[in-house]
Copies of this chain bind each other. A is one copy, B any other.
Amino acid sequence: MALLVHKYGGTSVGSLERIEAVAARVARHCAEGHRVVVVVSAMSGETNRLQALGLDLGGQAVPREMDVLLASGEQASAALTAIALKGLGVPAQSFLADQLPIRTDSAHTRARIEHIATEALCDALDGGVVPVVAGFQGLAVDGSITTLGRGGSDTTAVALAAALKADECQIYTDVDGVYTTDPRVVSSARRLPRVTFEEMLEMASLGSKVLHPRSVEFAGKYGVPVRVLSSFEEGPGTLITLEEDDSMEQPLVSGIAFTRDEAKISVRAVPDVPGVASSLLGPVSACGIEVDMIVQNLANDGGQNDFTFTVKRGDYDRALAVVRDAADALGAGPVVGDAKIVKVSVVGVGMRSHAGVATQMFAALAKENINIQMISTSEIKISVVLDEKYLELAVRTIHDTFGLEGAEGEG
């Protein structure tokens, strides 16, 4: 007898057959006595189609209208899902963002949710009606439609679950949970029965595609239990919780994330004076290029040091040009780069209370003769930059080292 929020992504509502499968699952949960609120994305491909139309006309410069355009995709899928539910005899009604409303700020194409009015949803639930909410969209204070950016439907679902104090927010995707690492790289990768928000947030930011980082942040902030499940098969999925699991020995490492499309840029012989980092990175950020890892060592005896940072591989050429100009202006040495690197990260809240995780990781890599180019750490993760040719070997080795392989834990 729980109150559940179901969220279905584009693939899960990508065809009439898939929409009917969604309706069947919702109907089953209702028949089991649960109350269900459904959140849907646009049918797969639809957002890209609409976006291409808008951008072709110059929509980049008209974010308000791009939002009106893109929001129409979720409007259609919400209506179709409500129709499919009614076809199964389940009372259902679609709700668009402005019909609740879901209030956001006015930052078109990347708005943030400020408040959700739940009266209409509660009335529907009390009347035995399944509300089908169009994800991704919001309503600005001036009455304009907004959208929440890519992955925004996850955020809609989590925010709704928080506002309704739902028992669980179930995110249905095309994978059946969160894995210790990508099963395509490590065949013995294992589904995690549970993971903390902090770990999930690090993993999402570090390349795991399962959940949008903002939705994880939101879930953590409001303590919404989130479960990642497959919309194609039954299973317990992965529960993302606020609390570390006290009932058993916490594993040191929960998972290994990696990103392939990285590039690094180093500036040699940078004068060791205040303001150098901002002189070098300011122009990069001004171009809209996101900087990820930044490493600067102690100055050498000559009062100079090397300054290294990473960017997305697609931004490499632009960043290199910008930094060369900045380095010249500073009187620094040559700028060198490498676009064939990857980042591998281990994530785990267990690191907080256990020393030696980094040592163990570095030793494992050394044993395979894999050179570590950069290191960056946070409280619950360690990231290293490696030559891209070592990616699979490194991930498998680390996966082994921390004993992540093998049979599934409790589900």
Contacts and interface: CB of A to CB of B under 8 A. Distances in A.
Interface in A60-97: 61-62, 64-66, 68-69, 71-73, 75-76, 78-80, 82-84, 86-87, 93-94, 96
Contact of A80 (B54, B75, B99): B54
Nearest to A23: B57
B96 A83 contact: no
Which among A66, A94, A143 has the greatest number of chain B C-beta atoms within 10 A? A94
Which among A66, A73, A79, A99 has the greatest number of chain B C-beta atoms within 10 A? A79
Given A86-B61, A99-B143, A94 B76 contact: no
Contact of A76 (B61, B72, B86, B93): B72
Contacts of A83: 54, 57-59, 62, 65-66, 69
A56 B78 CA distance: 15
Count of chain copies: 2
B76 A64 contact: no
Contacts of A72: 72-73, 75-76, 79
Contacts of A86: 58, 61-62, 65
A94 B80 contact: no
A106 to B, nearest CB: 14
Contacts of A98: 98
A220 to B, nearest CB: 33
A76 B82 contact: no
B87 A57 contact: yes
Contacts of A99: 143
Contacts of A61: 86-87
Contacts of A2: none
A68 B96 contact: yes
Given A16-B56, A16-B57, A57-B87, A50 B65 contact: no
A64 B93 contact: yes
B75 A79 contact: no
Which among A73, A80, A83, A96 has the greatest number of chain B C-beta atoms within 10 A? A83
A87 B75 CA distance: 26
A123 to B, nearest CB: 11
A84 B65 CA distance: 10
A332 interface: no
A53 B16 contact: yes
Given A61-B87, A72-B75, 11 more contacts: A16-B56, A19-B57, A50-B76, A57-B83, A57-B84, A58-B86, A65-B93, A68-B76, A68-B82, A69-B79, A72-B79
Interface of A: 16, 19-20, 50, 53-54, 56-59, 61-62, 64-66, 68-69, 71-73, 75-76, 78-80, 82-84, 86-87, 93-94, 96, 98-99, 143, 145
Query: Top 3 nearest A-B pairs by Cβ distance?
Result: A69-B79, A68-B79, A58-B87
